[in-house]
Amino acid sequence: MINKIKMAVVVVALAMVMITVPAMVNDDEASAAAGPAGQMKLYVMGDNYSWTTQTLSAYNAALAVEGSTYFQNGDDLVDYTYTYEYGGVTYTNISPDYGAINTFRGLSDSGSDTWNVLVYRGGWTAGDSALGWYKPFEDWTVDNNAYRTANVALWYGNIGSEGIVIAFLNLYTQSNATIGLTAITAGSDSPFKHTFYLKDNLGVGSLDGIFKYSPSSGVVAVGYGSDASLALLNAVGYGSGGVVFDNVNNTPVPEFEGYSWMLTLMGVGSEDMGNDTWRFWTINTGPSSAPVYADFLLGAYSALSNAPLSIATSASSMTLVYDEISF
């Protein structure tokens, strides 16, 4: 097994290296129908256990809250990314607390009174994650669908009141029903369309006949999903001839060893060759003709224009190259 700590150093170092991506076979440059997708229903409790609601177009619950009329000047949620310094260099990472409430409707946590989150998955239960990781898409199945919901409720008070809060919310939803998940559509006009340019510079991988072109010459794969990792899975399938992701921690956060950490693609993955030389898949946004090295894992990106990190261009594409690089 590859030493993951060493691999973390390589991932950080790669961001400082200029990667040259060769031209690939390009049999399909069909444009994606870039646009937003996702619908969420936000419930907010006021005085005396009274509720109101809004339905919004949103990629996740954090963006739904920020896009609602409940969100006031001075309100604040934790941002998608944060910066930190290491060895005198400033880096950017994705926050596991993305969407956590600092201030909402002018109220911040005070003593035993806090902002609390309820999510609907056949019934209302307490949310155990930050708002940004709740998404309304049918393909968002990480950790047995733990973060998949189209309905989120926010209430301010003592957590000990949760039972009565849910009781009043259930009464309210009898006349203000919850909504269903957003389906992933396919086709040339789908906003979920992602185009992948796959290139094995070393000629050691295989697509097991899924595509008619040789991996050593490069292939174009099209998949549909609410983020790039799910679209790649849709495009090439799961397993030795497709893609294998490692998410043993069941975290929804696309960070090191987190959601969408790719073990293998085309049957090959990260490998320490010794003498400061590694083989691994480089991830780039954009087509093979103009790739830009990606700072984050595939799951951080989406072709949807309302996603936090959108690659919604005319092609909504990413380029993945398997190569051997010395540091």
Give the pLDDT of the chain (327 residues) as one tens digit per residue: 334 433 443 444 443 333 334 334 343 444 556 689 999 999 999 999 999 999 999 999 999 999 999 999 999 999 999 999 999 999 999 999 999 999 999 999 999 999 999 999 999 999 999 999 999 999 999 998 999 999 999 999 999 999 999 999 999 999 999 999 999 999 988 999 999 988 888 877 665 444 444 555 578 889 999 999 999 999 998 887 788 988 766 789 998 888 999 999 988 888 999 999 999 999 998 877 778 889 999 999 999 999 999 998 756 889 998 889 888
Instruction: Say how many C-beta atoms besides its own lie within 10 A of residue 207's C-beta.
Output: 21
Q: Where are the alpha helices (H) located in 147-283, listed in sequence order?
A: 162-173, 228-236
Handedness of CA 184, 186, 189, 195 (dihedral sign): positive
pLDDT at 202: 82
Query: In which residue are the tokens 């085309």 written?
Result: 266
Q: Give yes or no for a contact between 270 and 158, defined as CB atoms under 8 angstroms apart.
A: no
pLDDT at 206: 60
β-bridge partners, 219: 198
Q: Could you report the per-residue pLDDT of 257-307, keeping only the tens digit for each?
A: 889 999 999 888 889 999 999 999 999 988 777 788 899 999 999 999 999
Secondary structure (DSSP) of 101-128: EEEBTTB--BTTEEEEEEEESSSEEE--
d(CA 240, CA 268): 8
Q: How far is CA 266 from CA 104, 185, 285, 298, in A?
A: 46, 25, 19, 16
d(CA 219, CA 319): 10
Instruction: Say how many C-beta atoms besides its own lie within 10 A of residue 312's C-beta.
Output: 19
Query: In which residue are the tokens 């996740």 written?
Result: 60
The encoded tokens of residue 95 equal: 């926050």
Closest to 119 in 3D by CA, of 140, 102, 103: 140
d(CA 305, CA 285): 15
Q: Please provide the size of the chain in residues.
A: 327
Say how far residue 245 (Cα) sits from the centre of its chain. Answer: 13
Q: How far is CA 141 from CA 40, 120, 134, 144, 145, in A?
A: 17, 15, 11, 6, 4
d(CA 135, CA 60): 4
Q: How far apart are the first and last CA of the chain?
A: 21
Indicate yes or no: pTM above 0.85: yes
Domain map of the chain by residue range?
Answer: 4-35+185-326, 39-173
By the 10 Å C-beta count (0-12 exposed, 13-18 middle, 19+ buried), 270 is classed as buried
Query: In which residue are the tokens 């006031």 written?
Result: 72
